[in-house]
Amino acid sequence: MQQLGYSLDAVNLRDVFEDNDAIHLVMELCEGGALLERIESHKYSEKYIARLTRSILRFISQCHAKGIIYRDVKPDNFLFLRHDDESPLKATDFGLSIRHWPDEPKLTSRSGTPAYMAPELVLQSYDEKCDIWSVGMLTYQLLTGRFPFWEDVRTQTLSDVWKAILTQDVNWNALELKQLSPSAVDLLKRLLQRDPAQRPSAFVALEHPWLSEDGRARDLPLQGSVVQRLQRFSTFGHLKQLVLKMIVDEIQDEGKQGKAPASRKARAALGNLQDLFNELDTDSSGAITLEELSAGLRRQGYVLADNEIENLMRRVDFDHNGTVDLSEFITTLMDWDQVQAEQGWQVYLDHAFRKMDHDGDGYISLDELLQQLPPLRPAPGVGSLAQVVSDAAAALGFSRGYDGDAERLAEAKLMLREADTNGDGKISREEFFDLLKESHAPDSLSFYDDRLAITTDGRTSAVVGQQNRQPAAKL
């Protein structure tokens, strides 16, 4: 879950405690129940099911972009945050997930729930495309109330289930009886291809028309993609986040000193990000508080729970002082893929490496990483969610296992492991540069939930707000 970062499409891990007998995970509370329970007790429109499928595919896209195969897509593993029909859906239970990149040998261990297993997983030679088949099985079930091969899988033996997955034709007649749209049927036929090479990636599947026919705006302006950008940035490792923050500081210094920028695109983006920062910083203090972030996001049409906003804030607050300054804000929302495409990117990386390599020996050591870390996170405020969790754990006799300096040391070790690919206990220049390269998989903003309200005419509230801010024409 830490590798995935903070995603609004997954249940958040809030804290970890331990006692003499067990490790206890404090998870985000999802009161709306499991997807399985809701689909068994309600009938939903095709449009609503498209929204659920989009949420599931977004989550799978995020996993695959980080080299994670989920391996257990099924309705039991997706929970609703609230009881209402507009509640977001969140993935849980990472017990069967595994790290695997596309260029690595196929996996061979069977894992998952039999009814949702892909043919190649049954045959024990598979990659991330097995998740795509499982999404197809689940979407078919949501649309028809049955499985593609059986009315009720509980009447089947395990060997019968696997035989059907490998050889039996999908019951497309059930889709005709439900009078589903041709677009929905088309997506299912793509997801349920027995040959994994013929299946789309999660990224490509998200672009299917059926998943965008509810009026979701494409290519949202900056104001309409803030929550997506916050989520995407949280998926970066701590060391990568720290280096990007150092680069932003250098870009800002270039502007103050009147120097020519190494990255013209980065310099050009600063103006728009400064304007958005000023919109959120309503008291003009130079820092955005949790209250200002919450009010600003909701003012721009985002629909988020209080704890979700607090979690997003924690990922942006680098120095743990409870507010977000301009440098932190820019680092989080910058289009880094565009900056990386410029030649000046290598200049910034070289400067960052030399700043962290204090003794100039050509390597970054654990001690040098420790020197880069911000001070310890201050004690949580009275009445905050963090304080409530901490007090409840203490009352039960649980502890975090390490605190204070040990916590900083553990974070530094994670940062070292993030880049030290050869395991020699230090980060070379080559490893450092590799860390900051683009990921193995595309990482589009469309992978993340925008959490924008939709107006009655099908436009997102961010687009409406953007249009409303345009000056009126002079008569």
pLDDT digits (tens, 9 = 90+) for 190-209: 999 999 999 999 999 999 99
pLDDT band at residue 468 under the 50/70/90 scheme: very low
Q: Are 47 and 7 in contact (CB under 8 A)?
A: no
pLDDT band at residue 15 under the 50/70/90 scheme: confident
Q: Which of 241-245, 332-336, 421-425 has the lowest mean pLDDT?
A: 332-336
Predicted confidence (pLDDT) at residue 374 exceeds the cutoff of 90: no
Average pLDDT score over residue span 47-56 = 94
Residue 194's pLDDT is 97
Predicted confidence (pLDDT) at residue 352 exceeds the cutoff of 50: yes
Q: Which two tokens stand for residue 302?
A: 């985002």
Q: Which of 9, 15, 19, 72 is catalytic?
A: 72
Arithmetic mean of pLDDT over the chain: 84
Alpha carbons 31 and 208: distance in angstroms, whole number: 31
Closest by CA to 55, choosing from 9, 5, 101, is 9
If you write DSSP's letter for every residue of 220-287 in order, what string do you get? --GGGSHHHHHHHHHTS-HHHHHHHHHHHHHHHHHHHHTPPPS-HHHHHHHHHHHHHHHHH-TT-SSE
Q: Which two tokens stand for residue 33?
A: 């129940």
Predicted confidence (pLDDT) at residue 389 exceeds the cutoff of 90: no
Respond yes or no: is residue 72 known to be catalytic: yes
71 versus 336: which is more confidently predicted?
Answer: 71
Q: Are 456 and 373 in contact (CB under 8 A)?
A: no
Q: Are 190 and 205 in contact (CB under 8 A)?
A: yes
Average pLDDT score over residue span 40-50 = 85
**Same fold? 13-212, 222-435:** no
Domain ranges of the chain: 13-212, 222-435
40 versus 278: which is more confidently predicted?
Answer: 278
Predicted confidence (pLDDT) at residue 473 exceeds the cutoff of 50: no
Domain 222-435 classification at class level: mainly alpha
Helix axes 238-257, 405-419, angle to 10 degrees: 90
Backbone angles phi, psi at 215, to 5 degrees: 90, 10
pTM: 0.74
Cα-trace Rg, the chain: 24
Predicted confidence (pLDDT) at residue 384 exceeds the cutoff of 80: no
Q: Give the list of residues 6+ apart from residue 224 with CB closer than 8 angstroms, or none.
A: 217, 300, 301, 450, 452, 460, 462, 463, 466
Q: Which two tokens stand for residue 314?
A: 């924690």
pLDDT band at residue 219 under the 50/70/90 scheme: very low
pLDDT digits (tens, 9 = 90+) for 260-294: 666 777 777 777 888 889 999 999 899 999 999 99
Residue 257's pLDDT is 80
Alpha carbons 273 and 330: distance in angstroms, whole number: 6
Query: In what helix (H) or strand (E) does residue 428 lie, and over which residues does it extend?
Result: strand 427-428
Tell whether domain 13-212 is in CATH 1.10.1270.20: no
Q: Which of 18-27, 405-414, 464-473 has the lowest mean pLDDT?
A: 464-473
